Amino acid sequence: MRARDIRIQFRLTEKEAASFDDIVTRSGLSRSAYLRCLIKGLVPVELPPPDYFAFARELHFIGNNLNQIAQKAHVLGVIDAKRYSEESRALEKVTKEIWEAVYRHKEMDRWLPPRSGE
């Protein structure tokens, strides 16, 4: 027997169905998974843009390097100024790229679910 053996059906207008499908697609979930989240009181959000994961890896790498610089400075009592400056510039560059990617691709109303009655 299936864990989910109760089937619920309901009807939508074409406009409602198109809007629902758009929201579900942007979330990366199936229709069923999306509705189960709503039932649990959770509102699924859109998947991040494809560049997100590349940015996250790069930020992790830079953060790791800055942590190594801090550990070395703590042990030796000296900061590697050249390496610190390079990593700071890299962090500024990635931060700028993230802001550009977010604001270039995002339309404010597309990131919000449709208002009730639409």
Whole-prediction pTM value?
0.50
55: domain range? 51-109
Q: Is 118 contained in some domain?
A: no
Give start and end residues of each alpha helix (H) in the chain: 14-27, 31-39, 51-76, 81-105
Whether residue 85 is found in the same domain as residue 105: yes
Query: pLDDT tens-digit profile of 17-68?
Result: 999 999 999 988 999 999 999 999 988 888 887 778 888 888 888 888 888 8
Residues 6+ apart with CB under 8 A from 45: 27
Instruction: Provide Rg for the chain, Cα atoms.
Output: 22
Looking at the 3D structure of the chain, how many domains does it have? 2
Three-state DSSP class for residue 43: coil
- pLDDT at residue number 102: 66
- pLDDT at residue number 2: 74
